[in-house]
Each structure stands twice: as C-alpha cells, then as structure tokens.
Amino acid sequence: MDKNLKSMTTMHRMQQTGLELFYKQGFYNTSVDDILKSLGLSKGAFYYHYPSKEEFFINIVQQLVFRKVYSMLIEPVEGRNNPLHAIEVCLDEALETAEHNTMDYGFVLANFINEFNGRNEQITKYLTDICKVWEVNLVATLQKGKTDGFVERHVDSEAVATYIISSYFGIRTLMVSGNKKVLRYQYIQQLRNYFRSLSPVVIA
C-alpha cells in the first residue's frame, strides 16, 4: 500500500475511534492511552500524526463532526421548496436515527459544546462555528421561504433558527434517558404546530 494512503487510512481509523471514545466518555475523561489501547497503536504512532490530544480532537471536529452535522441537519434542507416542511422532516429523521441508537449519549455537537464551554476557548470556537454554519443555513432557507410564499413575511428568521437549534439540543438531551419514541413524537407534534403559525394563512 502507498505510504501516504496508509497514513491517511491510519489517521481516519484514529479519528473514528477517537470520536467514539470522546462521545461516550467525554474529552477530559479519555486519555491518549485509552485511544491507543482501542487502536492497538504505540504512543509514537499517535504523536507522529498529532502533536497533542487537543490537536487530535480539533482534527476530529473539522473532519468528522462537521460532516456529520452537515449531512444530517444542513444538507437535507438546502434548496427545498417548502422550508418548514423540509426542516420538520429533517429533524424527525435525525430523531428517528437517535431513537434506534442503542448507544445514545446525546447530540454529539451539543455534548462537546457543553464540555468545553469555559474550559477551552479555542475548541469551543471550532464547535460554535459549526452551529453558526447551521444557523446561517436555516436563516437563508427561511428567507427564501418568505420570498416563495411558504413563510409569513413578518417572521424573524434569525429567532426561528435560534429556536430550532436550541430545541433540538434540548430534545436530544432528554432522549438520552427518557422514552425516545414518546419524546420524539411529542417534539415533532409541537414543532409542527409552531411551524403552522409561521405559514401564511390560506383563505378558501
């Protein structure tokens, strides 16, 4: 195998394993030795690719966490005709995935933001930047919905985007130890009711 390809394969395997451990145990409760034990690698192999555990985590955020959030919560609503319906379906599908996840520790992005807040400003910024990308996408989608007649023109798109993100963070936290199926159903029902209030009134 080509040396560069082998190195890339090793790094990807390290990132995947690292993310699983950090998600399950938290960053501060996971040591480099824990990661090496799971991978069967030496410390020399780890530090050959990454100068520190922090840099390793940042790389995971950039390579895996951003892709996960983008593919699950951003890409599905981009360019859709009816943004409110698209957002509802997107969140419902994301919650359905979590509902059937037997190893659910919550929403990975929210977990990490909570863990690093007040403890590591640099990493917190990387994580909150992902939220900003999500927020900007939601605002743009809602604004287009106004132009296309799917969203009332008086609606504050920034406020709605903030509500969507914060409510999703909250419901994912509740689902960790609660009845996932019931919580998902209740959340989507209320979200649907809320979205109805943002839609133009159709007069027969």
Q: Take residue 172 and report the two structure tokens written for it.
A: 């994912």
**pLDDT for res 202:** 56
**pLDDT for res 10:** 86
Q: Take residue 149 and report the two structure tokens written for it.
A: 């007649």
**pLDDT for res 203:** 43
pLDDT bucket at 4, cuts 50 / 70 / 90: confident
Q: Domains plus CATH for the chain?
A: 1-50 (1.10.10.60), 54-196 (1.10.357.10)
**pLDDT for res 204:** 40
Cα–Cα distance, 49 to 13 (Å, whole number): 12
Q: Take residue 74 and report the two structure tokens written for it.
A: 């951003």
Alpha helix stretches (DSSP H) within the chain: 3-25, 32-39, 43-49, 53-60, 66-69, 83-99, 108-116, 121-147, 157-177, 180-196
DSSP assignment letter at 201? P
Task: With a cut of 60, say whether residue 1 has pLDDT above it.
Answer: no
**pLDDT for res 119:** 97
Mean pLDDT computed over 81-97: 97
Rounded to the nearest 10°, the torsion over CA 57, 62, 66, 67 is -110
Evaluate whether 84 touches 76 at the Cβ level (below 8 Å): no
**pLDDT for res 2:** 67
Say which range, 15-24, 169-178, 194-203, has the weakest mean pLDDT.
194-203
45-87 pLDDT tens trace:
899 999 999 999 999 999 999 999 999 999 999 989 899 999 9
**pLDDT for res 201:** 67
pTM for the structure as a whole:
0.92
pLDDT bucket at 33, cuts 50 / 70 / 90: very high
Cα–Cα distance, 40 to 38 (Å, whole number): 6
Cα–Cα distance, 85 to 105 (Å, whole number): 27
Any idea what the Cα angle at residue 17 is, between residues 16 and 18, rounded to 5°? Answer: 90
Any idea what the Cα angle at residue 26 is, between residues 187 and 113, rounded to 5°? Answer: 55
Q: What is the distance between the terminal CA atoms of the chain, rounded to a whole angstrom?
A: 67
Mean pLDDT computed over 175-184: 97
